[in-house]
Amino acid sequence: MLDTMRRNVRKLSWVLWLVIVAFIAFYIPDLIRGPSNIVARVDGEPIYIADFQQALQQQTAYYQSVSGGNLPDDFLQQMQIREIVLESLIRDRLILAAARDQGLSVGAREVQARIMEYPTFQEDGVFIGPDRYKQILQVNGISFEDFERQVHNEVLFEKFTELVSNGVTVTNREIEDAYQRANEQAQFDFFVVSSAGLEPEVSELLTDAGVRMLFEENIFEYQVPERRRVSFAVIETEAIRESVKVDEQELQTAYAASIEEFTIPEEVRARHILFRLPPEPDEETIAETSSVAQEILSKIRNGADFSTLAEENSDDTATAASGGDLGWFRRGRMTPEFEEVAFSLEIDETSDIVQTSFGLHIIRLDGSRPEQVRPFEEVRSQLDQRITFERSEEIADQRAEELRVEVLRRTNFEDLAAQFGLELRASTLFSQLEGFSEVLSPEFTRQVFLAGRDRVSEPIRFGNGHVIFRVDEIVESHEPELAEVEDAVRSDLISELAEERAAEVADEFAARLEQGEGFDVLAAEIAAPIQSTELIQRDGVVPDLGRQSALVLAAFDHAPGEVGGPVKVDRGYALFRVTAHVQPDWGEYATQGDVLRNEMLNQRRSGLFESLVRELREQYTVVTYEDVTASIIS
C-alpha cells in the first residue's frame, strides 16, 4: 500500500491534527525501567507503564478541566478512556516505526525552524529568542531535550503523512456537487404538532392498569439509587478572611519583597517591514531580497511614508495592514538581532537593513518608555488582598490539620464542632449522581459514599474551605414499589401517550395537506403558531427548534410552494411549506472551489490514513501484556 501512495509531498495540517496532537500530548521519553513494567510492544519497542500512566493522567486532567471537575467515578470505565489511551500510544509507535522504515529523517535545522513557527514562542509574529524559549519550557516543567525530541517526531509524523497521502484526488464534478449542497439555500414556514400540548387530552386516558404495566415492564429504569444523609461542618475560608487584618508594616515589607514584580521594564514601540527569506537561503536569494529591501529603504530615506510602504511591501501579514506596527514590547520578546537594533534607535529613526532568521527587516522606532516601578499606593490594595488570601488559607489549613488530629482520636462529632466553633448542619438524602448542592465537590461526594455509617471523616478541601462529615443514614439501592415512584411513572406514561397522539395528528394533517386543505387552516385548528425561517443552508438553525437537520433536509427536497412532513423534531412533529429555494452564486465558485477541494482532500486523506494505520497493525507485531495492563486499569 505504501508503494502505491508515494508521490507528491503536501502539507496536511488537518490530518496532522488527528495524529500529531495525540503524540505530542502523550509522548514520554523512555527511562530505564524493568521489563515487568511494559504494557505493550510495537515491533519489539516497549511501551512502559510510566508512559501509559502519564498519558492517562493527562487525558483525565483534560476531561476534568472541560467538565469543571465533575466527572462521575466510573467515567474512565464508561468512556473506555484507558483503552483509548493505550491504543493511542500503540498508534504513535506504529507510525514512527513505519516512518523510519521508509528512510525518513529530520535534521536539527528542521526542528529549529518548526519551533520558531509555534505561536507560543512568538510575540508579534517574531520568535522570542532561545533564552525566552528555554525559560518557557522550564516554567512548564518540560526539559529542553524532551521537547525537541517531541518536535522532531512531530516533523517526522508530518513527513510520513505527506508521503502516504499522495494519490488522493477529488474530481471537479464532486467539488461542484459539494459546492451546490453547501451553498444553496431554502426558506420555509412550519408549525409543530406539539406532544406537550396534547398531554392534557391524553391524561384523561390514563388508567391505573396502564401505569402499573409501564412500571412493571421498565422496573429497572425506576431503580432507586443508594442515597445517604450526612451531618457536616465547614471551616469557611471566607469567614476567616474577614477576620484577617494586615498592618502597614506588613504591606511595606511585601512591597519591598515584590518590587521586581511591580517593576515595568523598559519598552519600545516599533514598526517593521519584513522581506521574508526561506529557512536556508542561498547567497543569490539573499542578494535579490536585499536589493528589494534596499530600494524600499531608499524611498524611506527620501521621505516616503513608512506605514504606507509597510502595508504595500511587508511579508509580515499580521502587521502589514497596520503599517508594520509591532506595538510595545520588552527585551527578550524579539530575536536578539532585531531587539538589539530596536532598542538602540532614537524615536522616529529608521534602521539599516537587519537580518534575522525570519528574513530582512527595516525597523522604525515610534516610542520608548524607560523602566518604571509602580508606586506603593497603586498596588496597596492588591498586596492587601494577596496577603489576606494567603493568610486565611494558611489559617484554614492549620485548623483543618488540628481537626484531622482530633478526628483520628475518635473525638465525638458534636464535640468536635463545639471545640472548633463550627456550625453542625444536616444534609438531605442524596445519591452519588446528584451530589449535595451545599458542598459542590466530587471528592466530598466520593468520600461520603465510601464511608461507613457513624464514622467521622477527615477534613476534605473544597471550594469554600474544608468540610468534615458523618454518615447518619444509608438508604440502599433497591427496586421500588410502585407507590414510591408512581408520580414519575405517570409522567412518563403521559409523555408516551402524548407522543403517540402527536404522531397520529401529524399524519392526519399530512394527508389533509395532500388533499388540498390549507396549511394555515390546519395550524389554526390546533392553535399552533406558524413560524418562518430565514434563507438557510443545510446546516442552518430553525427558529425555536435549533439545529433540526432532518427537517431542513426535508425542506431542501421540496420546491417552492410544496408542503411536506411530518418530520420528528424535539417537541413533536413538524409540517412545513417551502417558500423559497435559492441556487448558489456560481460566480463565487472560482474563489471557494479551491478551499472546498482542500477540505474534501483532507477528509479523504484522513480516511486513507486510518486505513493505513490498520494495515500497519498487521505489518508490525503488536503485543499487549494484559496481566500488566489489568493491574493498572482494574
Does residue 518 have a pLDDT over 50? Answer: yes
Does residue 593 have a pLDDT over 80? Answer: no
Task: Output the CA torsion sign for 456, 457, 461, 464.
Answer: negative
The pLDDT mean for the chain works out to 82
- What does the pLDDT read at residue 162? 75
The rounded distance, in Å, linking the Cα atoms of 415 and 418 is: 5
pTM of the shown model: 0.45
Those residues whose C-beta lies under 8 Å from the C-beta of residue 16, and which sit 6 or more positions away, are 157, 158, 161
Segment 184-203 mean pLDDT? 88
pLDDT in tens, 251-286: 999 889 888 888 888 999 999 999 988 878 888 999
The rounded distance, in Å, linking the Cα atoms of 315 and 407 is: 68
Give the DSSP letter of residue 165: T
Rounded (to 5) percent helix, strand, coil in the chain = 55, 20, 30
Q: Are 235 and 422 in contact (CB under 8 A)?
A: yes
pLDDT in tens, 148-165: 888 888 888 788 777 777
C-alpha cell at 619: 505489518
Could you tell me which residue, 626 or 320, shows the higher pLDDT?
320
Does residue 129 have a pLDDT over 90? Answer: no
Q: Where is 39: in which H helix or E strand?
A: strand 38-42
Q: Where is 365: in which H helix or E strand?
A: strand 359-369
Assign 94 a pLDDT band (cuts: 50, 70, 90).
Answer: confident
Q: Determine which of 8-22, 408-422, 587-601 has the lowest per-residue pLDDT on average.
A: 8-22
- What does the pLDDT read at residue 50? 73
Segment 586-608 mean pLDDT? 79
Residue 380's CB: how many other CB atoms inside 10 A?
15
Q: In b/e form, how buried is each residue of 197-235, taking b as 16+ CB within 10 angstroms?
A: bbbeebeeeeeeeebeebbeeeeeebeeeebbbbbbbbb
Does residue 15 have a pLDDT over 50? Answer: no
CA-CA distances (angstroms) from residue 116 to 109, 162, 342, 458? 11, 21, 20, 50
pLDDT in tens, 196-219: 888 888 888 888 888 889 888 888
- What does the pLDDT read at residue 6? 32
Q: Are 42 and 624 in contact (CB under 8 A)?
A: no
The rounded distance, in Å, linking the Cα atoms of 25 and 374 is: 39
| Backbone dihedral angles phi then psi of residue 413, each to the nearest 5 degrees | -60, -45
Domains identified in the chain and CATH numbers: 2-168+600-633 (1.10.4030.10), 185-199+483-582 (3.10.50), 227-248+378-475 (3.10.50), 263-373 (3.10.50.40)
The rounded distance, in Å, linking the Cα atoms of 167 and 8 is: 8
- What does the pLDDT read at residue 270? 94
Does residue 103 have a pLDDT over 90? Answer: no
Percent of the chain past pLDDT 90, that is, above it, reads 22
